[in-house]
Amino acid sequence: MNILTLFIFIPALFGFLILALPDGLKQTFKYITLTATLIQLALGIYLYLNFKTGAEFAGINHEQQFQFVQKLPWISLNMGNAGRMQVDYFVGVDGISVLMLVMTAVVMVIAVLASWEIKQNLKGFFALFLMLDMAVAGVFCALDFFLFYLFYELMLLPLYFLIGMWGGVRREYAAIKFFLYTLFGSVFMLLIMVGLYLSVTDPGTGNHTFNLISMMNPANYTQGSVFSLASHQTLFGVPARVLGFVVIFIAFAIKVPVVPLHTWLPDAHVEAPTPVSIILAGVLLKVGGYGIIRICMGIFPEVAVSGAFWIGLLGVISIIYGALNALAQRDLKRLIAYSSVSHMGFVLLGLASLTAEGVSGAMMQMVSHGFLSSMLFFLVGIIYDRVHDRDIYNFRGLATTMPQYTTFVMIAFFASLGLPGFSAFVAEAFTLAGTFKSDLVPHWMAVCGSIGILLSAAYFLWTLQRMFFGKELLKGGDAWKQALTGLKIREKLALFPLAVLALALGVMPSLVFGKINDSVLALIEFTKHMVR
């Protein structure tokens, strides 16, 4: 049995188990889910440890360089004159995706631990949760565009219900907004996908193929097809490949999210229950970044190069805009949501630079943000569970009431604002270094990006000062004080590993860089090669 297949479908298996069990056993559901995610985590660690590095395992555009590959024919339809329609079940990892998988596994465990507070309709919740887990894992493994798209869309459905049914007051609004936004992006991606399918042939069989890796090789495009590099076709007066890039980029930019397309995020985060917020911020945003690397840059590298300025500009705008917006918030969760916008802006900026430093920094930022945003949302969830309020102005002096909690908050905040020793610092510093080094984006973008670091200090410290320090003063008075108990074992169990991970990645960045370096270098080399 292929380990990736196991990784993907373990959650589904347990999901079916939950569906099959009677409602009387509903107290066991969370343990079942926890077991599933723990198995997944174990598999993830196994993957990480056994992942071979070296230039011959770089992946990116060489199918044979991927590891843990499984390729099975899945849909094969003889369509007469149109040839055979061929969709493969094709999974595999390279340096870029293996880290995403490990991170996903960790975040999922944390999210399950955060799900303890869910009280209603447990069966539905955990079944959807595991379905989401499966879809996310699938997205990161899939090397067939069709499969990728399938999992990509499959993520939407459980999320819609998870937000819409277990969310806050305006959950329907948020869920619909989220759903429509994402669907808007992905529907057009479908068109491009079909266009690519019709343009690309498998060199082995001569059939059209959805194989992502085949799509990266210009030689596989049939002569005169829409997306062929040589044919310079235009659609609506725009070069077809530019259009394809832009459409797919918009789809993933909505996920990231990039500034003019971000407004679903604060609403979705604020309304979503804690575990869903964690998954949303920890994993789903990274699907956007991962997609940009794997698909936008992989298939349309020359457009990524020529459009680097605009991508970088969007990144810089996201960084500063998100940070300034965070500064204006009084809802703690919304503040963190906007800070996510800001931090994910670094990812975009790093990717735009197309330098080894920038792309590695962006990858690091994704992993780092995965852990840190999970931690932040978990922390907000803790306080929200206790008093059902998260307005910053309603709290003061929490450090006196909940010292341990405050310690974790401080770790999370300072790690997020890029204190050296934590992962975000390495990520942001090298993102900026890569940006400055790059010939594709102007130097001033790096300087502007660094202003985001300053602003992040401003909003996090303001929150700390306003909410945690000073004389104890709670809006709910003694009732709140009673409710604001110290951390439970379960909560510590979730927070502690995250803090340790953030610290470990900051002190030993090679944990990440060591695995991704070959792939990143290959990607850079590949884009340069394509441009030539």
Can you give the binding site for another protein, defined by CB under 8 A?
A: 177, 180, 259-260, 262-263, 321, 324-325, 327-329, 355-357, 360-361, 397, 399-400, 414, 419-421, 425, 429-430, 432-433, 436-437, 443, 446-447, 450-451, 453-454, 457-458, 461-462, 464-465, 468-472, 508-510, 513-514, 517, 520-521, 524
Minimum distance from CB of 88 to another protein (Å)? 33
Q: Which residues, at least 6 apart from 124, have a Cβ–Cβ distance to it below 8 Å? A: 161, 165
Minimum distance from CB of 482 to another protein (Å)? 20
Minimum distance from CB of 224 to another protein (Å)? 37
Minimum distance from CB of 130 to another protein (Å)? 31
Minimum distance from CB of 55 to another protein (Å)? 12
**Which C-beta is closer to another protein: that of 382 or that of 516?**
516
Minimum distance from CB of 524 to another protein (Å)? 7
Minimum distance from CB of 103 to another protein (Å)? 18
**Which C-beta is closer to another protein: that of 197 or that of 338?**
338
Structure tokens at 441: 């984006």
Instruction: Kindly report the three-state secondary structure assignment for every residue of 494-506.
Output: HHHHHHHHHHHHH
Minimum distance from CB of 310 to another protein (Å)? 18
Contact 287, 253 (CB under 8 A): no
- How many Å apart are CA 426 and CA 511, to the nearest integer? 12
**Which C-beta is closer to another protein: that of 387 or that of 426?**
426
Residue type, 484: L
Backbone angles phi, psi at 287, to 5 degrees: -60, -40
Beta strands in 198-288 (DSSP E): 234-235, 238-239
**Which C-beta is closer to another protein: that of 102 or that of 446?**
446
Structure tokens at 88: 């493969």
Question: How many Å separate Cα 92 from the centre of its chain?
Answer: 18
Decide: residue 437, CB within 10 A, 0-12 exposed, 13-18 middle, 19+ buried.
Answer: middle
**Which C-beta is closer to another protein: that of 458 or that of 483?**
458
**Which C-beta is closer to another protein: that of 214 or that of 353?**
353
- How many Å apart are CA 332 and CA 53, to the nearest integer? 41
Residue type, 367: V
Place of tokens 């060489």: 62
**Which C-beta is closer to another protein: that of 283 or that of 426?**
426
Minimum distance from CB of 351 to another protein (Å)? 14
Structure tokens at 390: 């998260």
**Which C-beta is closer to another protein: that of 156 or that of 429?**
429
Backbone angles phi, psi at 329, to 5 degrees: -85, 155
Minimum distance from CB of 486 to another protein (Å)? 12
Place of tokens 């944990």: 511
**Which C-beta is closer to another protein: that of 374 or that of 517?**
517
Half-sphere exposure of 430 (CA within 13 A, CB side): 22
Decide: residue 224, CB within 10 A, 0-12 exposed, 13-18 middle, 19+ buried.
Answer: exposed
Q: What is the DSSP string of 88-151?
A: EEEEEE-HHHHHHHHHHHHHHHHHHHHGGG--S-HHHHHHHHHHHHHHHHHHHHB-BHHHHHHH
- How many Å apart are CA 243 and CA 250, to the nearest integer? 10
Minimum distance from CB of 385 to another protein (Å)? 24
**Which C-beta is closer to another protein: that of 12 or that of 356?**
356
C-alpha distance from residue 238 to each of 218, 232, 313, 484 (Å): 20, 10, 21, 58
**Which C-beta is closer to another protein: that of 187 or that of 230?**
187
**Which C-beta is closer to another protein: that of 111 or that of 308?**
308
Structure tokens at 470: 């000073």
Mode of pairing for the β-strands spanning 234-235 and 238-239: antiparallel
Alpha-carbon torsion angle 365, 101, 49, 298, nearest 10: -70
Minimum distance from CB of 511 to another protein (Å)? 9
